Structure 1
Amino acid sequence: MQAHPLQYYLTAPQPCPYLPGREMQAVLVDPAARAPTGHYGRLLVEGFRRSGRLVYRHQCPCCSACVPVRIPVHEFRPGRGQRRCLRRNADLHLRQVLRPNLDEHLALFRRYLDARHPGGGMDDTTRDDYADMISDRHCGVLLLEHRLGSELLAVAVTDVTAHGLSAMYSFFAPDRPARSLGTYAILSQIAEARRLGIAHLYLGYWIAGSEKMAYKTRFRPIEGRVNGAWRPIAMP
């Protein structure tokens, strides 16, 4: 890894949350440090990812199943299902916010976690935790609100760098399954990257055969970072 003016730490092995029977380790950027301008974008290109205050890259000694993936947004063309998703949500209003209503966001965030990820470790997220998650400690952060009238239906928390946008976290009303709001949130981030003239939208990690991560490869073409280089991922 190229030398950077930051410290890095290797986590202790822990059970892998994705693949039973395996252990996971990660390289962490010093959580107390504020990265220099532009640094986080370079880390994205190197396969790092942000989760709240933590910037990390999986570095498991006996496994390379986690593949960082990104969408080359200027080459992306929505598939049939994604075009239907866009039509179903044409009545939503997209708004960029700098100072969100934290209580409104947190209420939707908790509804989403209770329905989609109960017991996933984020159940006790407080107002301060959420404010920290959307802070601009490492880079610019864009909050995309999707509203039906005044009702908040979805939020996409997007990291903004010159090297790419990163879909850090999206959450949405769990009682509107027909709208496919998770897909719509990614489509809106692709559109925003195009508007800004940014080449890639990073989607974090993908594991072949993982049902929970399969949605990422429905956005095509898609690239993965394998053996230190970004290359197209061939899909059947």
Structure 2
Amino acid sequence: MTRHPTDHPQFYLTAPAPCPYLEGRQERKVFTHLVGSQAPALNDVLTQGGFRRSQNIAYRPACENCRACISVRIRVADFLWTKSFRRQWKQGEKIIGARLPAAPSAEQYDLFQSYLRARHDNGGMSDMSVLDYAMMVEDTHVETMVIEYRRKGPDSFITGTGEGPLLGVALSDQLSDGLSMVYSFFDPQHMDLGLGTLMILDHVHQAQRLGLPYVYLGYWVNGSSKMAYKARFRPQEQLTPDGWVEVEETP
């Protein structure tokens, strides 16, 4: 069995591959393994340093001639609830997110596939099997949760869970200083509910309730329309060579 050191992690560099966000560019990533008892602490440090988690791997871009990928996080204590966000939050009052262990289900996978077909049909995840999906969810050595979003039922205020079909799913890590949204997807037939925005607002709300200062959104990619939505959530900090800096306006 392969053993990976946890006190002194080793880092590796991937070969160049087509960039999934900016056409005509190549990407490279530096990565390490998140395994063993030190994985949660290492995940904390690396996330604060601009890494993202995928299963038991922490990675960040290491492209030679491009710095378009910028780590972003929401500062939740003074989150700016715009009129649009308030309307969205009120519209979502009939939806509840249930925090569950990091365990996959057939219902999640079906929704995941529907989401990919509608939103990312040619993406790198479009051919993921049910086993691939299961590994994405449960192959973790850190504190990870699945949040399932459904419509509220008459007993939801007691059970903390919703009823009816699954509307959205967020796979998220709880860190010492915040919540990190690893991946989220939703029912594309309910675009009117604004589920993508609602799930981020729910994470802001949950982080405030838990006394955690940040919600990590991953990378904002300068020039990618797929990532433009992240700029809406303020106040926002971006990771720069000088550390985390609040940005007033995204270019």
Q: TM-score, normalised by structure 2?
A: 0.86
Amino acid at match of 2:100: V
Say if 1:102 and 1:127, in contact at 8 Å, map to a contact too. Answer: no
Q: Which digits, 9 at most, give the CA deviation of each residue in 1:147-190, with x for residues without a partner?
A: 02322101111111113211101110001111110000111111
For residue 24 of structure 1, report the CA deviation from its aligned partner.
Answer: 1.1
* C-alpha contact (below 8 Å) 2:55/2:139 kept by paired residues: no
Name the CA distance, whole Å, in 2 between partners of 1:176 and 1:54: 32
Task: Give the CA RMSD over aligned residues.
Answer: 1.9
Q: In the alignment, which residue of structure 2 is the partner of 1:140?
A: 143
Give the number of aligned pairs. Answer: 233
Q: Where does residue 120 of structure 1 map in the other structure?
A: 123
Partner residue of 1:89?
A: 92
Within 1, Cα distance between the matches of 2:138 and 2:238? 27
SS at match of 2:93: coil
> Residues 84-142 of structure 1, C-alpha deviation per residue, up to 9 Å, x if partnerless?
11121111122111265611111111111111110212123223222221226231112
Within 5 A, what are the aligned runs for 1:1-236?
5-30=8-33, 33-34=35-36, 36=38, 37-98=40-101, 100=103, 102-135=105-138, 137-148=140-151, 149-235=163-249
Query: What's the secondary structure of 2:138's corresponding residue?
Result: coil
Residue 22 of structure 1 and its aligned partner are, at CA, apart by 2.1
| Change beyond 3 A, Cα 1:99–1:229 | closer
Contact 1:42 1:163 in 2 (8 A): no
Segments of structure 1 that go 5 or more residues without pairing to the other structure are none
The SS at the match of 1:132 is helix
- Determine the C-alpha separation between the residues in 2 that align with 1:22 and 1:122: 19
Please give the secondary structure, in 1, of the residue aligned with 2:185.
Answer: strand
Q: C-alpha separation between the residues in 2 aligned to 1:93 and 1:137?
A: 25
**SS of corresponding position for 1:89:** helix
TM-fit CA distance, 1:207? 1.9
Amino acid at match of 1:218: R
Moved more, 100-109 or 185-194: 100-109
> Do the aligned partners of 2:104 and 2:133 also contact (CA within 8 Å) in 1?
no
Asked if 1 retains the 8 angstrom alpha-carbon contact of 2:98 and 2:148, the reply is yes
Kept in 2, the 8 Å contact 1:172–1:181? The answer is yes
Q: Which amino acid in the other structure matches residue 95 of structure 2? A: L
